[in-house]
Amino acid sequence: MTDGKPRYQTYNHPAGGWGAAAATAKVLFEQSVITKGSRALLAMNQPGGFKCPSCAFPDPDHRQTLEFCENGAKALAFEATKRRVTRAFFQAHTVSELMAQSDHWLEMQGRLTEPMRYDAASDRYVPCDWDAAFALIGAHLRALESPHQAEFYTSGRTPNEAAFLYAIFVREFGTNNFPDCSNMCHEPTSRGLPPAIGVGKGTVVMEDFEHAEAIFVIGQNTGTNSPRMMTNLVEARRRGVPIVAVNPMPERALIRFTEPQDVVQMATFGSVPIASEFVHIRIGGDLALFKGMMKVMFEREAQGESIIDHDFLGRHTVGFEAVRDDVLAQAWSDIVEASGLAEDQIRRVVDIYIRSRATMICYGMGLTQHQEGSRLLQQVVNLLLLRGNFGKPGAGIAPIRGHSNVQGDRTVGIDEQPPQDYLDRVRDVFGFEPPREPGHHTVETLEAMEAGTARVFIGMGGNFVRAVPDTERSYAAMRKLDLTVGITTKLNRGHLVHGRDALILPVISRSEVIRTAAGEQFVTIEDSMSKVTASRGVLAPASPHLLPEVEIVCRMALATLPDSKVSWASYIHDYDLIRDKIAAVYPDIYRGFSERIKAPQGFHLDVPPRRLVWPTHNGKANFLLLPGLAVNVPVADPSMLRLATVRSHDQFNTTIYSNNDRYRGVYNDRMVLFMNAEDRAARGLDSGSSIALETITDDGVRRRVDGLTVLDYPMPRGAVAGYYPELNPLLPLEYFDRISGTPAAKSIPVRVVAV
């Protein structure tokens, strides 16, 4: 597989196991961090160490062994790499030349080492000292006619302390324009769940896995994107807990898994079957599945079985009757057609659900990235409410978040529609009047750039232009700006698609030591289960010229707001002072933060529905309606296929570690399209044919990606899948969930164009 030629072969082994161990060793070796890397791995997710920079799945409280996974090791190895992007590198390459390189190539150049400024005369980035960089940002921001002409993006690796201050800086500057990666990810969780249960977060914690009697894993590729959760699934299966996996792709780790940290299993080549029921859903068919399940429950209840928890419904909920009427009005033939599932299987899934006295429903992007993503999640809540699956051990809703601190960033103020009580407390604690009107989310940010009303873009981490929809259009929008700033660890496309002025500001990463005038500092993050823990880097920073994100925020504020009411200079050095302010702005959840964070295992933020308290407008949990069975606008065109854009096993979002996708049997290629063989044959194509895809829209814009190889894959009929971000040019900017603004990246209507 090392000759670079594309190869495709079915992967028949369990996921995890020696394949994962070998991949871990290889990646550490290739990034030449074997010694440094293994020392860092020992400190990852241990009390006193740093939090894994990869996904948001919590680390366990009680396992004392080496706690990491293949993809955590990859994230660390690529962060701790010895490769460096220096001023000589930028001298040797114009931006236009760099633009012609692949995302993988850019990533492989290594860590950024000093601040750089774009020089139009030479089309190169040239060195620029930190003071000059902050002065440039301050000058641009102060020159704007309105603070709403600036957009302040955040990606979810930024820790609480930096995100909290960034939110304060931007609000004192005068806008709520906070597009963030969550706007493309779990925003349906943040916006869809509050009307239903009063919080936009999950209601389970790690211990719940030990008490669950059934676990659903819906629209989530666990073995690749939250590999540490596999340990919980393996343990659950060993206890005989049924696991229902709902996915259009039979993801390998959901079928069979070998726990790489289980010595006996590794030695004996053993493995554990994971899904007791694999539900091969059509793309967007989940709504029909949920309604089918509820229909069976109502029907069986009507026949005298006791299935619905009427006591729970009576005490805690409102709106049950309307949901029951809606569900009973759906015909089985429509449910079967929309879900692509046999009625028998839906009845089997219901059996699993009603035998369980405590059910957890975990989900990922397969549920959120649809045009009705937010309301689809409300149907998940309906399903859970019917059997009282809240407020007891082992039960609840479990959004599996993406970036390691994406949930935390939202909690501490990265929110384009901030609650008024938060704004009141910001006013009281910091002494300025924050703006009250909602700001831009990611899609609105792009619209403002296109319209020319946005002039400045500051990216706190991430790779905005590469992550967003409608690639070509978004590139053009970005290039209209006066200033673009990338606050970042690695070179990425976002630095090459830039405004008239542009800065690259390199930061100290999660695994590295932050030392200030007040001594060594730590930061905090909140995981997917609302647990807040400290993170202390152990490695020396990649370059002596890097700054921590906190200092960058403070110095942007000092350069922009000469009359600020906030004591920015003090926060640069002492992060406890920042945590004291977080506690003051969020007394309900963060009171005593600086003290509580001293507990080696951290602490949980309060999630009221766990206590059966519902902070909704009526103090109840609400059954909410989503009429019909469609989560995306129907398309009449018979040639239409629904395209899901997914991650390979060897990438972290726009960071491409390699061109392999081991569990799906793809090597040295990312330009592939997974298709059902009958759909392929119906189009007169051979397996391995090269095709183009075109988006079906009525806006007159041609969106097309060429050079895709068709692979036979067990997809449901009418569903195809390929990789993000290569296929983002096909995703129209207008194609998003109206409630949350989340682009519907899992259900793009496309047609195949033979070439």
Ligand X SMILES: Nc1nc2c(c(=O)[nH]1)N[C@H]1C(S)=C(S)[C@@H](COP(=O)(O)OP(=O)(O)OC[C@H]3O[C@@H](n4cnc5c(=O)[nH]c(N)nc54)[C@H](O)[C@@H]3O)O[C@H]1N2
Summarize as ranges the residues that interact with ligand X (CB under 6 A): 54-55, 71, 155, 157-158, 181, 184-185, 218-221, 224-226, 246-249, 251, 281, 283-284, 286, 364-366, 402-403, 460-464, 467, 487-490, 492, 507, 509-510, 549, 644-647, 651-655, 724, 728, 731, 745-746
Contacting residue, 192, 194, 284, 402, with Mo ion by CB under 5 A: 402
Choice between 382 and 489, CB closer to ligand X: 489
Choice between 185 and 739, CB closer to Mo ion: 185
Alpha-helical (H) ranges within 308-371 are 310-316, 320-328, 332-339, 343-355, 365-368
Going by C-alpha positions, the residue among 189, 224, 155 that lies closest to residue 486 is: 155
Least distance from C-beta 75 to ligand X, angstroms? 7
Residue 294 contacts which entry, Mo ion, ligand X, none (Cβ below 5-8 A, type-dependent): none
Least distance from C-beta 145 to ligand X, angstroms? 28
Residue 224: strand, helix, or coil: helix
C-alpha span between 647 and 185 (Å, rounded) = 13
Least distance from C-beta 728 to ligand X, angstroms? 5
Choice between 403 and 581, CB closer to Mo ion: 403
Least distance from C-beta 373 to ligand X, angstroms? 10
Q: Which residues contact 664 (CB under 8 A, 6 or more apart)?
A: 11, 249, 252, 648, 649, 674, 713
C-alpha span between 162 and 571 (Å, rounded) = 10
**Exposure of 613 by Cβ count < 10 A (0-12 exposed, 13-18 middle, 19+ buried)?**
middle
Residue 290 contacts which entry, ligand X, Mo ion, none (Cβ below 5-8 A, type-dependent): none
400 near Mo ion, judged by CB under 5 A: no
487 near Mo ion, judged by CB under 5 A: no
C-alpha span between 8 and 711 (Å, rounded) = 8
User: What letter would DSSP give residue 436?
Assistant: -
Least distance from C-beta 300 to ligand X, angstroms? 24
Least distance from C-beta 725 to Mo ion, angstroms? 12
Choice between 338 and 532, CB closer to ligand X: 338
User: Do 10 and 252 touch, CB atoms closer than 8 A?
Assistant: no
Choice between 224 and 379, CB closer to ligand X: 224
Choice between 234 and 583, CB closer to ligand X: 234
185 near Mo ion, judged by CB under 5 A: yes
Residue 742 contacts which entry, ligand X, Mo ion, none (Cβ below 5-8 A, type-dependent): none
646 near Mo ion, judged by CB under 5 A: no
Token readout for 283 is 């793309």
Choice between 247 and 382, CB closer to ligand X: 247
Going by C-alpha positions, the residue among 741, 748, 755 that lies closest to residue 726 is: 748
Q: Which residues pair with residue 127 across a beta bridge?
A: 116
Dihedral sign, Cα of residue 437, residue 442, residue 446, residue 452: positive
C-alpha span between 513 and 539 (Å, rounded) = 6
**Exposure of 589 by Cβ count < 10 A (0-12 exposed, 13-18 middle, 19+ buried)?**
middle
459 near Mo ion, judged by CB under 5 A: no
Least distance from C-beta 713 to ligand X, angstroms? 10
Least distance from C-beta 420 to ligand X, angstroms? 27
Residue 655 contacts which entry, Mo ion, ligand X, none (Cβ below 5-8 A, type-dependent): ligand X
User: Do 75 and 534 touch, CB atoms closer than 8 A?
Assistant: no
Choice between 402 and 434, CB closer to Mo ion: 402
Choice between 95 and 283, CB closer to ligand X: 283
R_g (Cα) of the chain, nearest Å: 25
Owner of token pair 């509580």: 596
User: Which spans of this chain sit near Mo ion (rule: CB under 5 A)?
Assistant: 185, 402
